[in-house]
Structure 1
């Protein structure tokens, strides 16, 4: 199934979901599966609400990731409502010791994206580079395309 995610940047931080699973701690961008009848943008907006508790407006495509035979699209978004950290998607209540591990909405400082093990790493590298240039909208001019890579999302 295809997936969609959001890149939400505020106050020099990127919204992420902290994952603790099988003794590992890493971060992913908010997102998930595109449901039947839904397009990528609608899925990204829904996932931001479910995982972060915020309503977003999508500004444009930043990256297309091909991973394990499925396409994932990540969109730059701007918060337009809601309250960060109040996401109520079913995964947000998963305990650390469950098979899927835990999920928690967090803000990662833009200079800490690589150290925080934000995945997918090639996109984290691009985001950290853009943060140093203070030009988030430059991400929209040339969307990144990432093909299969070794680390799980």
Structure 2
């Protein structure tokens, strides 16, 4: 893993945010869809590819929402809109991982925007910002300027 940069998407539809439900070591939490950049790939292209692999949808990137620095690597999250595909049909290598494996299970889900914090969506500072924008019904406000988050392992 090391310092490989990561990219992810934030998709909001019908009052819900697309997320990946993780069950690992007996714990259930949620993360935004995303993953590592491949050689020669930039952040936006990686985010588009990861949305297809994890969610089963094609997306258009609207803009950068957040940069998270965690354990020596950067993660860029982009506001994205679905342009095709079928949600929940992602076939990336991790999507078939069983609950009892070392990496745990992955499942694409829609989280209501008013439950992002109780659903343990990570990273938490980004979940807080998303929930705040949802209460104002203005996700375009996410594009006003990227949130920069410095997370530490204890923040998990």
Q: Find the aligned partners of 2:75 and 2:32 in 1 and give their Cα distance.
A: 11
TM-score for the superposition, normalised by structure 2: 0.96
TM-score for the superposition, normalised by structure 1: 0.98
Q: Find the aligned partners of 1:92 and 1:13 in 2 and give their Cα distance.
A: 21
Q: Is the aligned partner of 1:50 residue 2:45?
A: no
Of the candidates 49, 64, 68, which is equivalent to residue 65 of structure 1? 68
Structure 1 vs Structure 2 CA RMSD: 0.6
Residue of structure 2 equivalent to 1:32: 35
Structure 1 stretches (4+) deviating beyond 6 angstroms?
none
- CA-CA distance at 1:136 after TM superposition: 0.4
Q: Is the aligned partner of 1:96 residue 2:112?
A: no
Q: Which runs of 5+ in 1 are unaligned?
A: none
**Secondary structure of the residue that 1:15 maps to in structure 2?**
strand
Residue of structure 2 equivalent to 1:5: 8
Q: Which runs of 5+ in 2 are unaligned?
A: none
Aligned residues: 152
**Secondary structure of the residue that 2:18 maps to in structure 1?**
strand
Of the candidates 130, 133, 136, which is equivalent to residue 136 of structure 2? 133
